[in-house]
Structure 1
Amino acid sequence: MNRTDDFEIFIVTSPGLESVLCAEAEEKGFREPAAVKGGVTVRGGWPEVWRANLELRGAGRVLARIGEFRAFHLAQLDKRARKLAWGDFLRPDVPFRVEASCKASRIYHQGAAAQRIEKAIRETLGAPVSPEADICIKARIEDDLCTISLDTSGDSLHKRGHKEAVAKAPMRETLAALFLRQCGFDGTAPVLDPMCGSGTFVIEAAEIAAGLKPGRSRHFAFEQLATFDKKAWQRLREKKSPAKPDRAAPAIRFYGSDRDAGAIEMSRANAERAGVTALTEFRRHAISDLVAPDGLPGLVIVNPPYGTRIGDKKPLYALYQSLGQTLLTRFVGWRVGLITTDASLANATGLPFAPPVGPVSHGGLRVSLFLTAPLEPAVS
Structure 2
Amino acid sequence: MASETFEIFLGTQPGLEEVLLDEAIAAGFPAPVAVGGGVTFEGSWDDVIRANLSLRTAARVLARIGEFRAFHLAQLDKRSRKFPWGDVLRPDVAFRVEVVTGKRNKIYHAGAAQERIERAITEELGAPVSPEAEVVLKVRIEDDLVRISVDTSGEALHKRGFKAGVGKAPMRETMAAAFLRACGYDGHEPVLDPMCGSGTFVIEAAEIARGLMPGRERRFAFEQLACFDPQVLRSYKDGWQMRETDQHFYGSDRNVNVIQMANDNAERAGVADLCTFKPVPVSAIERPDGPPGLVIVNPPYGARIGKKKDLFALYGAFGQVMAEKFSGWRVGMITSDDSLAKATKLPWLPTGAPIAHGGLKVKLYKTDPLR
User: Which structure 1 residue ranges, 4+ long, deviate > 4 Å from structure 2?
Assistant: none
Residue 57 of structure 1 aligns to which amino acid in structure 2?
A: R
**345, 349, 367: which one aligns with 1:372:** 367
Equivalents in 1 of 2:82, 2:328: separation in Å?
62
| 1:284-329 alpha-carbon deviations (Å, 9 max, x no partner) | 1111110110000000000000010112100100100000000000
**327, 332, 351: which one aligns with 2:327:** 332
2:282 is aligned to 287
Equivalents in 1 of 2:184, 2:298: separation in Å?
17
Q: Report the RMSD for the aligned CA atoms in angstroms.
A: 1.2
Please tell me whether residue 161 in structure 1 is matched to residue 161 in structure 2. Answer: yes
User: Which residues of 2 match residues 128-207 of structure 1 at below 5 A?
Assistant: 128-207=128-207
Q: Secondary structure at the match of 1:281?
A: strand
2:15 is aligned to 16
Please tell me whether residue 37 in structure 1 is matched to residue 46 in structure 2. Answer: no
User: Which residues of 2 match residues 1-380 of structure 1 at below 5 A?
Assistant: 5-104=4-103, 105-241=105-241, 243=243, 250-376=245-371
Q: More deviation in 171-180 or 225-234? A: 225-234
Deviation at 1:241, TM superposition (A): 3.5
Identity %: 62
Q: Is the 8 A contact 2:30 2:42 kept in 1?
A: yes
Equivalents in 1 of 2:250, 2:78: separation in Å?
58
Equivalents in 1 of 2:281, 2:67: separation in Å?
56
Deviation at 1:76, TM superposition (A): 1.1
Equivalents in 2 of 1:187, 1:367: separation in Å?
25
Equivalents in 1 of 2:246, 2:161: separation in Å?
27
Q: Secondary structure at the match of 2:33?
A: strand
Residue 139 of structure 1 aligns to which amino acid in structure 2?
A: V
Q: More deviation in 229-238 or 197-206? A: 229-238
Equivalents in 1 of 2:316, 2:158: separation in Å?
32
Equivalents in 2 of 1:113, 1:250: separation in Å?
53
Q: Secondary structure at the match of 1:350?
A: coil
How many residue pairs get matched?
370
Residue 201 of structure 1 aligns to which amino acid in structure 2?
A: F
Q: More deviation in 301-310 or 78-87? A: 78-87
Q: Is the 8 A contact 2:2 2:45 kept in 1?
A: no
Equivalents in 2 of 1:129, 1:240: separation in Å?
36
Equivalents in 1 of 2:3, 2:142: separation in Å?
24
| 1:166-189 alpha-carbon deviations (Å, 9 max, x no partner) | 111000000000000000000000
Q: Where in structure 2 are there 5+ consecutive unaligned residues?
A: none
1:246 is aligned to none
Q: Where in structure 1 are there 5+ consecutive unaligned residues?
A: 244-248
Q: Secondary structure at the match of 2:309?
A: coil
| 1:130-154 alpha-carbon deviations (Å, 9 max, x no partner) | 1111000010011211110000010
Equivalents in 2 of 1:205, 1:256: separation in Å?
11
Equivalents in 1 of 2:353, 2:287: separation in Å?
28
| 1:63-104 alpha-carbon deviations (Å, 9 max, x no partner) | 000011111111111111122111111110001100000012
Equivalents in 2 of 1:156, 1:56: separation in Å?
12
Deviation at 1:358, TM superposition (A): 2.5
